[in-house]
Amino acid sequence: MPYTVPKLTNFSAAALDSAVRELLSALEQESAMVASENDWKIYRDRWMARKNGVLTQLNDLWLKAAPGPSKKEVGQRVNELKGKVEHTVEATLARIQSGASSGKLAAERLDITLPGIRRPLGAEHPVIKTMNEIVSVFRNLGYSVEEGPEIETDYYNFEALNFPPNHPARDTQDTLFIVGQESKVLRDRLLLRTHTSPVQIRTMEKMKPPVRVVCPGKVHRNDAPDATHSPIFHQVEGLAVDTDITFCDLKGTLDHAMKALFGSSVKTRFYPSFFPFTEPSADVQISCIFCGGKGTRDGGPCRNCKASGWIELLGCGMVDPNVYGFVDYDPAKVSGFAFGMGVERIAILKYGVDDIQLFFNGDVRFLEQFG
């Protein structure tokens, strides 16, 4: 029979000694019967559970019930019992884990000759998978991959990319600056990079033309999270600098890349835009992959392209000659183009996701479908 805490009416030393011996005997007997970790958990909870464990009952039935003159001695006995119970419970677990018990426990010990349990292989996150696909397209065109630090200086993130000091992108509403930089000159102040374009500057500083690189990585902007914005996202930017590179080379390169990513039937469209580090600059649209560029789907307007038949995807342009001055290139001898695309935007199109936050919430149920 499991031990039951008796309700004491006699609090003499002899009566307490008898009650303590009975409790410790039951504690040891029940410990000897524990043969597995499941048994041990039941044993532990029976003696140490906060609500109805034996130790809790001792407080209620012995200590609280003791008359005033006896409370001190009863309290000492209860504290001693608490230490012995905790020690016995821990010793019982150690005995089980060391395989010291016989019978059933011995049969449950680990057989090292059995094959191990394989940890299931994971899969690439859809954002990383998309970024690798984009990089692969340009690798096949002969581009190399360059990476750089996420914590950048104002010089590489803005100044060397032809952003004047009063440009809106330097505003703290858009850029996340590192605190405690006020004493430094502007160009040396640290910030979280807002694009991977600084990698292009670092690459041109250490390489002479010809240069053909793509720069994948994580970037940061002070955007409020919603279905289409995130303070952390990923970009793949590209740069090609050589002699006699023209806008036609840029258009042909990006047209090929979009067809490689979305299928050979996809069309591209370029229209004027502005970026401080390119001139001329353009935004690139692709024909809607959901409605085939028609603007209608299933008898109604296509929601994905807002019935226009086109989806804006990236920005690009010819490298502004002013940028070459920061990397000691001669704009009279070389020319080049640059482009940049948001990885999450392309992943949303490829996988039919309607909320960018799903990529960052870590919900395994969402991620498993891309495995």
pLDDT exceeds cutoff 90 at 367: no
Q: Is there a single domain that holds both residue 136 and residue 104?
A: no
Q: Give the C-alpha separation, 43 to 80, whole Å.
A: 19
DSSP for 113-150 reads TSPPPPPPP----HHHHHHHHHHHHHHTTT-EE----S
CA pair distance 231, 219, nearest whole angstrom:
8
- 32 shares its domain with 131: no
Handedness of CA 357, 361, 362, 364 (dihedral sign): negative
Question: What is the C-alpha to C-alpha distance for residues 216 and 141, in angstroms, rounded to an integer?
Answer: 16
- Across the range 178-191, mean pLDDT stands at 91
Tell me the chain's radius of gyration from C-alpha atoms.
35
Is residue 4 included in any domain, yes or no?
Answer: no
In total, how many domains does the chain have? Answer: 2
- Provide mean pLDDT across the span 211-224: 94
Least confident of 205-214, 280-289, 317-326, 362-371: 362-371
Shared domain check, 246 and 101: no
- Of the three residues 61, 76, 108, the one that is the final residue of a domain is 108
* Higher-pLDDT residue of 106, 152: 152
The answer on pLDDT for 73 being more than 90 is no
Q: Between 16 and 132, whose confidence is greater?
A: 132
Residues 97, 218, single domain; the answer is no
Is 329 a member of any domain? Answer: yes
Cα 142 to Cα 101: distance, rounded to the nearest angstrom:
66
The answer to whether residue 6 is domain-embedded is no
Euclidean distance between CA atoms 272 and 285, whole angstroms: 11
Would you say residue 120 lies in a domain? no
Residues 20, 57, single domain; the answer is yes
Residue 299 has pLDDT above 90, yes or no: no
Q: What is the mean pLDDT of the chain?
A: 89
Q: Which residue has the tokens 């360059």?
A: 146
Give 178's DSSP letter.
Answer: P
Q: Is the pLDDT of residue 141 over 60?
A: yes
Q: Do 236 and 96 belong together in one domain?
A: no
Instruction: Find the helix or strand (DSSP H, E) in which 366 lies.
Output: helix 364-368
Q: Does residue 151 share a domain with residue 37?
A: no
Ordered DSSP codes for 8-62: -S--SHHHHHHHHHHHHHHHHHHHHT--SHHHHHHHHHHHH-TTTSHHHHHIIII
The span from the CA of 39 to the CA of 22, in Å, is 22
Per-residue tokens: 126: 């859809």
Question: Residue 99 — very low, low, confident or very high, per pLDDT cuts 50/70/90?
Answer: low
- Residue with the bigger pLDDT between 182 and 336: it is 336
Question: What pLDDT, on a 0 to 100 scale, did the predictor assign at position 47?
Answer: 87
Q: Which pLDDT value is given to residue 123?
A: 82
DSSP 316: E
Query: Residue 351: which CATH number?
Result: 3.30.930.10
- One domain, residues 104 and 130: no
Q: What average pLDDT does range 329-349 have in this prediction?
A: 94
pLDDT at 156 over 90: yes
Amino acid occupying residue 55: L
pLDDT band at 101 (very low <50, low <70, confident <90, very high): very low
Domain of residue 29, residue span: 13-108
Flag whether pLDDT at 346 surpasses 90: yes
* 168: in domain: yes
Per-residue pLDDT tens for 300-309?
A: 899 888 899 9
Element (H, E) at 254: helix 247-262
Average pLDDT over residues 224-229: 86
Asked whether residue 36 falls in the same domain as residue 156, the answer is no
In a domain, 119, yes or no: no
pTM for this model (two decimals): 0.67
Least confident of 21-25, 60-64, 301-305: 60-64
